[in-house]
Amino acid sequence: MFRPAAAVLAALVSGLWCGLCAAGTSQQLNYRPIIGVLAQENLPGDQLARGSSYIAASYVKYLEGAGARVVPIRINRTEEEYVKLFNSINGLLLPGGDVDIQTSLFTRAAKIFYSLALKANDAGDYFPIWGTCQGFQQLSVLTANKNLLTLTDTKAVALPLTFTSVAQSSRLFRTFPKDLMQSLAQQNITPNFHSWSLSMQNYTRNAKLRKFYKVLSTNTDGKKEFISTMEAYRYPFYAVQWHPEKSQFEWIDKPGMSHSTAAVTASFYTAAFFVSEAMKSNHHFSSAAEEEKALIYNYSPVFKGIYAIFIQNYYFD
């Protein structure tokens, strides 16, 4: 009579205590994950901007399409607010964009969440972070504690990934189907829209970066080899210099975009992976009312035009 209850309790307790080892199997997963997406200062000259910051809707749809809900993390909030939010959400996505990754309010917030995530994971409280493009670059600056980026000719180009020997066994890629890995390795399906890159040279020369991140793929602009995908060794932190979300959700008519089935499938697999990581977090809002107030559904995206760099943006004061 009591045995089943005891077993359930034991499973619960081990689930709660499992933390980083949770990559494992026996943990209770959180099938209602909520991921924070960090806003950033509006682009200069954005005619349709309202307020002072935005989130491109493509990042929201990208996560929603893989089974997560989204909470916007607004810039210029107090540290107390960020701590409270950190303890309410199950992961953080740092999106692409165009702000100063050392002095912006985006960076200020990213730094606070990054420190909280380091501490939490160290204590066995699983908390994943995903960085895309500018988010990748931001993570490199936060880990190295300086900006080691270099200019590359990668402003609008779709590339195949050059996988490293450890990609196949990485947490991020090991769940990808073989034919998808083949498409990623052979076809020009990863959209690149960046002027700055983390070169293999600077990564290799910097002990902090080298010890923290495992390089999963590289690319080159013809002159410099740069990192296109990496994951942290000891933390559930992931970074892509390319833009998975654009294949499904952005429609700017430029070289560098790819809407092929393989590109869309690759995008989905990255999102599904990150959402599965967020399912290992047990953070939650203090009440259903708090959760309801925080979700992105309280805001409406603005249509920017069919050829805009972001087809829809959410704006915040």
Ligand X SMILES: *[C@@H]1O[C@H](CO)[C@@H](O)[C@H](O)[C@H]1NC(C)=O
- What separation in angstroms does the CA of 220 have from each of 64, 173, 189, 198, 214? 32, 20, 15, 11, 18
Q: Is 21 among the catalytic positions? A: no
Considering only the stretches 19-27, 54-62, 74-82, 85-93, report the one whose residues sit in contact with ligand X under the rule CB under 6 A: 74-82
Q: Spot the catalytic one: 18, 21, 194, 243.
A: 243
- At 210, the amino acid letter reads R
**What character string, x for contact with ligand X (CB under 6 A) and - otherwise, covers 256-275?**
--------------------
Compare residues 77 and 254 and give the one whose CB is closer to ligand X.
77
Residue 232 CA: distances (Å) to CA of 12, 36, 106, 158, 239: 27, 20, 21, 25, 9
In DSSP terms, which residues pair with 194 in a beta bridge? 154
The β-bridge relationship of strands 150-159 and 190-197 is: antiparallel
CB-based contact 127:87 (threshold 8 Å): no
* CB neighbour class for 186 (10 Å; exposed up to 12, middle 13-18, buried from 19): exposed
CB of 217 to ligand X, least distance (A): 17
Determine which residue in the list 140, 143, 170, 199 makes contact with ligand X, applying CB under 6 A: 199
Q: Which is nearer to ligand X, 76 or 88 (CB)?
A: 76
- Interface with ligand X, residue 150, by CB under 6 A: yes
Residue type, 301: P
- Decide if residue 78 touches ligand X (CB under 6 A): yes
Catalytic residue among 133, 194, 259, 284: 133
For the question of residue 243 being annotated catalytic, the response is: yes
Single out the residue of 104, 137, 154, 202 in contact with ligand X (rule: CB under 6 A).
202
- For ligand X, the binding residues (CB under 6 A) are 76-78, 148, 150, 199, 201-202
